[in-house]
């Protein structure tokens, strides 16, 4: 009947509105993947397979900062003796630091690539604290970090104006 038609029309209108809202939040109807990007010389890329390499090149240049530290100066740095507070902190229960760090993580935030949210870590309680401590201790002793920890997800956020590199 009429009420069913109204309900159906409302559902269709609402889903269209949600799709339009999502499109607007993504920057309009233009897809970011189709945005023109330029090479180092300012020429537009015509081949879309060149784009990922240009983005890698761009962020490598942007984020790579060569070290200017002189190893000779680093070797000459004197190591201070520990204060009483420092010794107490080093001898304290090591899981206290992990517990404090987990407690300070902001809740209701997006997860990383592992899909583990802060809320899950907080809800895990003491078993999760001990598990994290074991992982960190293993990384510290072996001086080998989990490869995923060095990966980052970069999201291109364009300023107003031309959306090109």
Q: Which residues contact 51 (CB under 8 A, 6 or more apart)?
A: 37, 45
Give the C-alpha distances (Å, rounded to integers) separating 88 from 81, 83, 136: 13, 9, 20
Position 40 confidence tier, pLDDT thresholds 50, 70, 90: confident
As a whole number of angstroms, the distance between CA 78 and CA 155 comes to 42
Position 14 confidence tier, pLDDT thresholds 50, 70, 90: low
Give the model's pLDDT for residue 125. 92
Q: Across 23-27, 47-51, 111-115, 141-145, which has the greatest mean pLDDT?
A: 141-145
Give the model's pLDDT for residue 124. 93
Angle at the Cα of 149 (from 107 to 61), degrees rounded to 5? 110
Contact 118, 105 (CB under 8 A): yes
Give the model's pLDDT for residue 34. 62
Model confidence over 112-153: pLDDT tens digits? Answer: 878 899 999 999 999 999 999 999 989 989 999 888 888 877
Specify the higher pLDDT residue, 40 or 6: 40
Strand partners, 38: 44
Domain ranges of the chain: 1-31, 36-67, 80-142
As a whole number of angstroms, the distance between CA 87 and CA 62 comes to 40
Query: How long, in residues, is the chain?
Result: 165
Question: Stretch 88-117: mean pLDDT, rounded?
Answer: 87
As a whole number of angstroms, the distance between CA 57 and CA 165 comes to 11
Q: Which residues contact 23 (CB under 8 A, 6 or more apart)?
A: 29
């Amino acid at each position: 009947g009429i009420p069913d038609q109204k309900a159906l029309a409302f559902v269709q209108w609402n889903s269209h509105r949600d799709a339009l809202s999502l499109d607007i939040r993504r920057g309009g109807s233009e897809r970011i993947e189709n945005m023109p990007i330029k090479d180092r010389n300012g020429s537009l890329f015509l081949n879309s397979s060149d784009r990922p390499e240009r983005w890698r090149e761009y962020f490598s240049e942007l984020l790579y900062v060569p070290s200017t530290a002189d190893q000779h100066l680093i070797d000459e740095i004197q190591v201070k003796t520990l204060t009483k507070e420092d010794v107490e902190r080093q001898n304290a229960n090591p899981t206290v630091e992990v517990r404090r760090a987990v407690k300070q993580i902001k809740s209701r935030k997006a997860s990383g690539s592992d899909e583990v949210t802060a809320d899950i870590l907080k809800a895990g309680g003491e078993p999760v604290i001990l598990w994290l401590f074991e992982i960190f201790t293993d990384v510290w002793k072996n001086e080998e970090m989990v490869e995923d920890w060095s990966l980052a997800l970069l999201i291109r956020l364009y300023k107003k104006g031309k959306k090109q590199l």
